[in-house]
Amino acid sequence: MIKFENVTKKYPNTKNSAVNNLNLEINEGEICMLVGPSGCGKTTTMKMVNRLIEPTSGNIYIDGENIMAHNPVDLRRNIGYVIQNIGLFPHMTIAENIATVPKEKKWDKERIDKRVDELLELMELNPEVYRNRRPSDLSGGQRQRVGVARALAADPPVMLMDEPFGALDPITRSKLQNEFLRLQEKIRKTIIFVTHDIDEAIKMGDKIVVVKNGKIVQQGTPDDILSNPADEFVENLIGGNRSIKRLNLVTCSEIMHDTFSVKMDTPLDAARTIMLENGLKTIALTGQNNKLIGYAELKDMEGKTGMSGDYKKEMEVTVDERMSLNDALSEMLRIGQRYIYVADERDNLRGWIGINDILNAVSIND
Amino acid sequence: MTDSGNVKKRKPVIKAVLIPLVLIFIGLSYTFYVINYPQDKIVADFVSYSKVFSLLKQHIVLVLVSATAAVLVSVPLGIFLTRPKFKGLANIFISIVNMGQTIPSLAILALFVSVLGIGFKSAVFALWIYSLLPILNNTLVGITGVDRYVMEAATGMGMNPVRILTKIELPIAFPVIMAGIRTAATVNIGTATLAAFIGAGGLGDLIIAGNNINRWQIVILGALLSALLAILADYLMALFEKA
């Protein structure tokens, strides 16, 4: 999909090239993380794709076509662009901001309005509320959601993302990362994502490209990079706690167990039977559509009658099935529990994970 | 929660009309007072409604012509100087126009008399020179002040330079440019009183004549009307800016 061929960028009056004879191929629908310290040439590499920076020599191809064959303005309209500082237009409403590229492409108004609402919903921003707001009315996380929506507006096949979540607080960052991964499953864009944060690279990337002094030091899947760092530089970049980082590679849905649950109105006897047969001390309570409501403990049910729901205890914490084991483990540590229930985005019960499952998942490969 | 933007706009309509009316009322009242209750015969002979209004008209024309010409030159020049190709030129131009600003206004008027002769033309030209800098300066500051990430996003999304100028740079810089125009216009209205010295008329006639014949009523009439005019002009432009 995107191919760099012997690409070099040398700025005038500098001794070393910012990007030095770089060769790289990125497959369609893949998130390629360019990671490295600041000044390593990762941003320069990315900006050459939409010709914000022109290479000194070498060629870049998108879908087999040399990007230099296109007018830069046309080229850029087909490449989504998201930057750390977002750069929302302060004098325009959220809807106008998102409509930027469709307007440049001269879509008709109806189609633009429809697309804007669709994207706002995709970003979990209620169109009725946010359509006519200004960027200054929004929080940092909401602004970056709008930034992503704006980049997606004309449905470009390729996206360039320059530390898009870098300026957000850790909680918002993690939330937006998860949301973006979920989104990417639907939209399958080919993405070049620049970051200096190796954890982000491991979490987000299908492929990680480690860049140093304008050269690729190592490229591979997150697992490759974590298991076999090419040299000391990559090892230092990853840091000492490789196993803990591997927690970011596995999502809860990959290792969770099926769980037993009963409806709120299941008679207590039935619930107790299930628990005794399976040796359970607790059981999840669900409402309609398998929606998780709470749980009940066997010790509360001893010698009682009625509905299971009568002995409901509030579920304090669940994890989303798409969250990483790192998130699950930290929740378990926080509440001091050896297991945690897993739910999907609509709070439907999906399964559970025990602390031993996490240990097993991380230590398999070593 | 929703659409707070739409509610805000309505209320000030009454205020928008009221303030100009009050200003006009003050001006008319004082003119009425001077004409009907003159200090003495000399004032009574000197002042008439038709005279005051023709001077006021002259004053307005002087200001309008010079300020409009200044906008027409400074804004395009400012846009031109902020194009990436000409970035280096901006500072040079600012210094040149700045130097123009350091010459006392009276001296500028006098200087142009020797070139363009006495009267309207010289006055307009001098006032024009005087208005250039605040507008040019604010145009440059306004456009270069546009957040560079906003510019990067606009470029990166495939807006062409003309669209970036008209849809991003100018709308964002507009309040700053307008502030420059307002400053220029209000200063201009004050400075235009000096035009009377070179025979270009305007409200300055009242001030100079009143001073020469030592009649405070006339001096105050000229000063008050030009001050009210400046406030009114600034107010109307602020209104236009918000609309």
Tens digit of pLDDT for each residue in B89-148?
877 887 887 777 788 878 888 888 888 888 888 899 889 988 988 999 899 989 989 999
- The strand ranges marked E within B149-209 are none
- Pick from A35-44, A250-259, B220-229: least confident: A250-259
Cα–Cα separations (whole angstroms), residue B205 to A131, A319, B34, B210 = 56, 82, 16, 8
pLDDT computed for residue B7 by the predictor: 47
> Is B62 a member of any domain?
yes
Q: How far is B167 from chain A (nearest CA, A)?
A: 10
Local confidence band at A193 (pLDDT 50, 70, 90 cut-offs): very high
> Is B1 a member of any domain?
no
Q: Flag whether residue B8 sits within 8 Å of chain A, measured between CB atoms.
A: no
> Is B6 a member of any domain?
no
Average pLDDT over chain B, rounded to an integer? 88
pLDDT computed for residue B33 by the predictor: 95
Q: Which CATH number characterizes residue B233's domain?
A: 1.10.3720.10
> Is B2 a member of any domain?
no
Percentage of residues in chain A with pLDDT exceeding 70? Answer: 99
If one compares A147 and A317, the residue with the highest pLDDT of the two is A147
- Phi then psi for residue A85, to 5 deg, are -85, 10
> Is B84 a member of any domain?
yes
Do the Cβ atoms of A164 and A148 come closer than 8 Å? yes
Domains of chain A plus CATH, in order, are 2-249 (3.40.50.300), 253-363 (3.10.580.10)
> Is B40 a member of any domain?
yes
Contact A83 B3 (CB under 8 A): no
> Is B48 a member of any domain?
yes
- pLDDT of A42 higher than 60: yes
- Phi then psi for residue A254, to 5 deg, are -70, -30
User: Is the Cα torsion angle A120, A126, A128, A131 positive or negative in sign?
Assistant: negative
Local confidence band at A314 (pLDDT 50, 70, 90 cut-offs): confident
Contact A77 B147 (CB under 8 A): no
Q: Can you give the residue range of the structural domain that contains B169?
A: 20-242
What residues of chain A have any CB closer than 8 angstroms to a CB in chain B? Answer: 50, 52, 72-79, 81, 83, 85-91, 100-101, 104, 128-129, 132, 134, 147, 150-151, 160
Q: Using CB atoms and an 8 Å cut-off, which of residues 140-169 of chain B contact chain A? A: 147, 149-160, 163, 168
Say how many domains are in chain B.
Answer: 1
Optimal mutation site among B143, B157, B170, B176, interface A, most CBs of chain A within 10 A:
B157
Q: How far is CA A50 from the centre of its chain?
A: 23
Contact A75 B168 (CB under 8 A): no
> Is B204 a member of any domain?
yes
Contact A90 B154 (CB under 8 A): no
Q: Provide mean pLDDT across the span B200-210.
A: 92
- A39-76 in b/e form (b: 16+ CB < 10 A) is ebbbbbbbbbbbbbbebeebebbbeeeebeeeebbebb
Q: Which residues on A lie below 8 Å from B150 (Cβ)?
A: 87-90
Q: Provide mean pLDDT across the span A39-50.
A: 94
Q: Provide mean pLDDT across the span A273-285.
A: 84
* Residue B185, both tokens: 């216009």
pLDDT computed for residue B103 by the predictor: 80
Contact A77 B168 (CB under 8 A): no
Nearest by Cα to B134 from B97, B171, B87, B86: B97
- What secondary structure letter does DSSP report for A106? T
Q: Please name the residue that has the structure tokens 């004082």.
A: B30
If one compares B67 and B14, the residue with the highest pLDDT of the two is B67
Cα–Cα separations (whole angstroms), residue B9 to A218, B6, B15 = 58, 6, 12
pLDDT computed for residue B12 by the predictor: 67
Contact B160 A73 (CB under 8 A): yes
